[in-house]
Amino acid sequence: MVNKDRLVTEFVQLVAMDSPSFEEMEVGTYVKEQLRALGFEIREDEAGRKNHGSCGNIYGFLKGTKELEPILFCVHMDTVEPARGKTAVIAEDGTITSKGNTVLGADDFAGITAILEALRVVQENNLAHRPIEVLFTTAEEVYSKGIAHFDYSWLKSKEGYTLDLTGPVGMAAYKAPSILAMEIQIKGKAAHAGFAPEEGVHAIAVAAKAISELKLGHIDEETTQNIGIIHGGLMSNIVPESCSIKGEVRSYDHEKAVRETEKTKAVFERFAKEYKAGLEFTVTIGCKAYETPIDDPVVKRFEEACGQLDLPCRMIETFGGSDNNVLATYGFRGIVLATAMNQCHSVKEYTSVNELCKIAEVTVRLMTSDR
């Protein structure tokens, strides 16, 4: 049912738009135009202003022709860097890549085209559909900073689909972890490294001692910890006065993730005290774990849609976050659909004409389902 040429043309057009996090205005303007033409009531929230970005989250509502509960389709408009000057290259076999110097942006433009194309198919074929809500978010790639400012009082749906997962179309994630970001500042005291080293307080030494005591990598079967960035010191002849460290903990168990950051904090406190250094330790919740029951109607509807298209359906656990983590904190039941994107967050990112069509077809089935 989908119009392959129209879908691919739109995808190529979107790829050509620069849309790094906080700079989504061009895509946002385009999305608003399309939704307006499709008969949606549209609103843009304050996320752009609050995040000092160029665009807010774009929300749309379309009345249904079926007496069913509304469902939400959520997708993000930003792409990771290198994100500027992207060009889609379509190979003879239908594979679509960038020119090799940027990402492609199938993450998440494949989701945007799937939703817009599905809506056009529903409309031009007069297909009966339920009330549909759409949410095009900003700044997802920086720990869902856009959707964090969404006005949830607008939302009518209690369930829905986030189109934002790597893998073959037919796969979907029903479970995702909490991700807690840690930022640590150690304040020592500068001194000449040759003349009076004992007068200094060595901030890097404190960091090194603490990090060497941490358990990194897998802490258990559902929890990991990483220290990703360490930065400190001014010159090789100065006892370093400060050191900053960034890391994260992720776990399917939110409380466990919180406890792990507390343990890490205790280790840093112990060495800061021993060396008489100052310490600032902040933890930010990047996203919160959720698990949608595998027998939930939101899953069943998706399985049914895949069945109608002869697509193998596979429900998985993911260890990455998405906007669905944030929706879930409001009691929303959702799953994250594989959306025709591969090798995301790299210049090797690719999709294919075939997969783009498939996810659009799945989306049509979800919008028109009787379940």
Rounded-to-integer distance, Cα 142 and Cα 318, Å:
18
User: Which amino acid, 350?
Assistant: Y
Angle subtended at Cα 316 by Cα 156 and Cα 312, rounded to the nearest 5 degrees? 95
Q: Determine contact, residues 366/305, Cβ cutoff 8 Å.
A: yes
> 96-119 burial, b for 16+ CB within 10 Å, e for fewer?
bbbeeebbbbbbbbbbbbbbbbbb
- State in angstroms the smallest separation of the CB of 67 from Zn ion: 33
Residue with Cβ nearer Zn ion (22 or 61) = 22
Select 239 or 340, whichever has its Cβ closest to Zn ion.
340
CB of 87 to Zn ion, least distance (A): 20
- Residue 147, classed as helix, strand or coil, is helix
Q: Residue 79 CB, nearest distance to Zn ion (Å)?
A: 8
Tell the smallest beta-carbon distance from residue 338 to Zn ion (Å).
11
Does residue 107 interact with Zn ion by CB under 5 A?
A: yes
Cβ-based nearer residue to Zn ion, 103 or 122:
103
Contact stretch for Zn ion (CB under 5 A) within 15-23, 46-54, 156-164, 310-318 = 156-164
| Residues 163-202 interacting with Zn ion (rule: CB under 5 A) | 164
Instruction: Choose the stretch contacting Zn ion; rule: CB under 5 A; options: 10-18, 160-168, 207-215, 237-245.
Output: 160-168
Sole window of 85-93, 97-105, 158-166, 247-255 interacting with Zn ion (rule: CB under 5 A): 158-166
Residue 59, SS3 per DSSP? strand
Of 164 and 241, which has the nearer Cβ to Zn ion?
Answer: 164
Least distance in Å: CB of 322 to Zn ion?
Answer: 7
Shortest separation between residue 289's beta carbon and Zn ion, angstroms? 18
Shortest distance (Å) from residue 111 CB to Zn ion: 8
Which of these segments, 159-167, 179-187, 221-229, 289-297, binds Zn ion (CB under 5 A)?
159-167
Q: Is 260 in the site for Zn ion (CB under 5 A)?
A: no
Number of residues counted as binding Zn ion (CB under 5 A): 3
Residue 349 touches Zn ion, criterion: CB under 5 A: no
323 contacts Zn ion (rule: CB under 5 A)? no
- Which residues are catalytic, by number? 78, 140
Of residues 208-247, those binding Zn ion (CB under 5 A): none
Cα 198 to Cα 185, 189, 190, 237, 309: the distances in Å are: 21, 10, 10, 13, 72
**Which of the ranges 16-24, 25-33, 157-165, 267-275 carries the binding residues for Zn ion, by CB under 5 A?**
157-165
The answer to whether 108 contacts Zn ion (rule: CB under 5 A) is yes
Comparing CB distances to Zn ion, the nearer of 148 and 184 is 148
Instruction: Give all strands of the β-sheet with 89-90 in edge-to-edge order.
Output: 89-90, 95-97, 350-352
If the CB atoms of residues 278 and 320 are measured against Zn ion, the closer one turns out to be 320
Instruction: Kindly tell me which of 107 and 133 has the beta carbon lying closer to Zn ion.
Output: 107
Full DSSP string of 340-365: S-BSTTSTT-EEEHHHHHHHHHHHHH
The burial class, CB within 10 Å (0-12 / 13-18 / 19+), for 343 is middle
Token pair of 220 as six digits: 């258990």
E strand spans, the chain: 41-44, 58-62, 71-76, 89-90, 95-97, 132-137, 159-165, 171-176, 178-187, 191-192, 217-220, 223-232, 238-239, 242-251, 278-287, 290-291, 314-317, 333-338, 350-352
Question: From residue 18, how far is each of 13, 21, 26, 147 by CA, in Å?
Answer: 11, 10, 7, 20
Do 76 and 141 touch, CB atoms closer than 8 A?
yes
| Contact set with Zn ion (CB under 5 A) | 107-108, 164
